[in-house]
Amino acid sequence: MHSASIPAESSPVEPPELPNSFLLRLDVLGHVIIRFLHTAAGLVAFALITLGVAAKKFHASARVVHPLIRHQIHRAGMRLLPLTGFLACALGILIVGQTVALLSQVGAQNLVGTVMVTVVVRELGPLTAALLVLVRIGVAYVIELGTARALGEVEALEALCIDPIHYLVIPRVIGLSLAVFSLTVYFILVTLLSGYLFAFIQNVPLQPGDYFKQLAVALTWEDFALLAIKTCAFGFVIAVVGCYQGLAQPLRLQEVSAATTRAVVQSIVACVLLDVVFIVIYLVM
Amino acid sequence: MNALRDTACPAATEVLELNEVAVGSTLSPETPSVEDVTWTVRSGDYWVIGGWPGSGKSDLLATIAGMMRPLRGTLRLFGLDRVSAHEHELADARAKIGLVFENGGRPFNHLTVTENVTLPLCYHENRAPEEAIERVGALLEFAGLESVAGRFPTEISFFLQQRMALVRALALRPRVLLVDNAVSGATTREARWWRQALSQLAAGHAVTDGQPLTLVVGCHDLRPWSDHGKQFALLKHRRWLGIGDRAALRQSEEPLLRELLAADSNEG
């Protein structure tokens, strides 16, 4: 053993050639890219299947599936109102209140509307609502669907000729999309109102009429349209990623937590990438 | 094989036909767990398939239930080719086949016992739950589940979960019922209940609208079924091994069959 591990100095055997670290890094990078593309392809395929099933079977088994959609809207939308309201108030005071006060101090009150629309309506509202829904509901989706998958409930549905995408995924996707949209609208309203109230208490010389008039002038119809599309897209992405990680591949119970972590990371990355796309659209418009 | 043909009613129609079928594993779909299965199930048959745990019974039952494509060979469900049939035709054929899973029957744990049984009815017939009360009540009564109707599966015993899986599979009025290891680990009393219930279904019961049900039972202890099944087969070394009727079962010297019929082989 000893003689084998320490070769004699006079040994003619060349030491093993060290692998090129650059090639190793390239190999790792290649694996990461392939894994990313594989996951992206799986997610896109799952999203397309979901859209196909939604279009084809929306009215099928309506008395079973439509109550499930309403349940998911209630679960992801209504039940998150208190938390959303709390966060909207806090961010309204922190961001809007201070921004209004600061702009007034430098005599740039006429920019309040534009700043608010850019910060709160286009970015802060949709992203905050999406992250809230991801943490409260998206994670729960992976756990409940992953557990159902691991316990064989999905096969039991298939044995009863019940399409798992139709019964389990469609209600969640529609419910979450509408919930993120509704929560964003609620969040924006509460943030703008609470922020202004904070500034008003601080005696900022900006009348309520002027404040809301500036907001109305700064908002365009594209803002409303893009807000609706963007928030529904966020909800769709979070629900699809959660359902994909929970359902699309065979899972064992001990793999559910890893699937949940993957879903959170992928949802955040997907939402941010989607946000970049919308920023480009805003800039082009 | 002659013995198998003799046991079939001359007027019986083929409901399941397998020709040199290789069955994939549920855990590894591309790996065959059973190969070269050539088998015909006719209406009115009562098949009992024996084999040790891991012999591929569950995979075979899942495949003939239409849940998995065969890896090779031809599988026909009510005359429809599993691979080439149109999606909605296949769905109709599959709805005529009920499958009861082993190990508690894979209940939907977020639904109560009543909701578990109601779900397939309401989903396929687009009904509100209250419109299915009568049918669901009859099914729960058949399985003796009325007293636990409002409970969740995790609140009832393992055996009652298995019974719930039976009536859930019966909800859609299937013509063929596949039962996978239903009495595994069951008490003598529970095993007797299953044998009687399946015999009633095979003869025609009110819950099947009086229509005799075609049965395929998978098990790893043949003793409870030796006096109830009409046709018998084994899965041995990943191969299908037809035995025949009850007389053939008694006469066969197949070592695996003797083991599965031996008193000390009982695992359920």
Residue in A61, A151, A158 nearest the CB of B67: A158
Q: Give the whole-angstrom CA distance, residue A101 versus residue A112.
A: 10
**Residue A13 confidence class, pLDDT cut points 50, 70, 90:** low
Q: How many structural domains are present in chain A?
A: 1
Q: Residue with structure tokens 């899973």?
A: B101
Q: Which residues span the domain enclosing A84?
A: 62-284
**What confidence score (pLDDT) does residue A114 get?**
81
pLDDT higher at A78 or B10:
A78
Q: Identify which of B159, B161, B158 has the alpha carbon closest to the alpha carbon of residue B112.
A: B161
**What confidence score (pLDDT) does residue A276 get?**
94
Q: Are A160 and B119 in contact (CB < 8 Å)?
A: yes
For residue A4, tell me if it sits in a domain: no
**In whole angstroms, how far apart are CA A121 and each of A43, A224, A285?**
28, 9, 16
Contacts of A155 in chain B (CB under 8 A): 26, 62, 67, 101, 106
pLDDT higher at A183 or A96:
A183
**Residue A16 confidence class, pLDDT cut points 50, 70, 90:** low
Report pLDDT digits (tens) over B9-36: 445 688 999 999 999 987 777 889 999 9
For residue A37, tell me if it sits in a domain: no
**What confidence score (pLDDT) does residue A284 get?**
86
Instruction: Find out whether A271 and A238 touch, Cβ atoms under 8 Å.
Output: yes
Residue B201 in tokens: 């279904």
Q: Are A158 and B168 in contact (CB < 8 Å)?
A: no
**What confidence score (pLDDT) does residue A268 get?**
95
Which structural domains are found in chain B, ordered by start? 1-96+175-191+211-268 (3.40.50.300), 104-173 (no CATH)
Residue in B94, B128, B172 nearest the CB of A63: B128
Q: Identify which of B58, B60, B164, B61 has the alpha carbon closest to the alpha carbon of residue B106.
A: B164
**Residue A14 confidence class, pLDDT cut points 50, 70, 90:** low
Mind telling me how many Å the CA of A237 is from chain B's nearest CA?
25
- ipTM comes to 0.88
Please tell me whether residue A144 adopts helix, strand or coil conformation.
helix
For residue A28, tell me if it sits in a domain: no
**Residue A12 confidence class, pLDDT cut points 50, 70, 90:** low
Asked if residue A17 has pLDDT above 70, the reply is: no
Report pLDDT digits (tens) over A118-143: 888 888 899 999 999 999 999 999 99
Mind telling me how many Å the CA of A59 is from chain B's nearest CA?
10
For residue A212, tell me if it sits in a domain: yes
Q: Give the whole-angstrom CA distance, residue B175 versus residue A70.
A: 35
Mind telling me how many Å the CA of A62 is from chain B's nearest CA?
6
- Point out the residues of chain B with pLDDT beneath 70: 1-12, 263-268
pLDDT higher at A204 or A47:
A47
**What confidence score (pLDDT) does residue B11 get?**
53
Q: Identify which of B196, B195, B243 has the alpha carbon closest to the alpha carbon of residue B217.
A: B195
For residue A13, tell me if it sits in a domain: no
Please report the sign of the dihedral spanned by the C-alpha atoms of residue B94, residue A161, residue A43, residue A38: negative
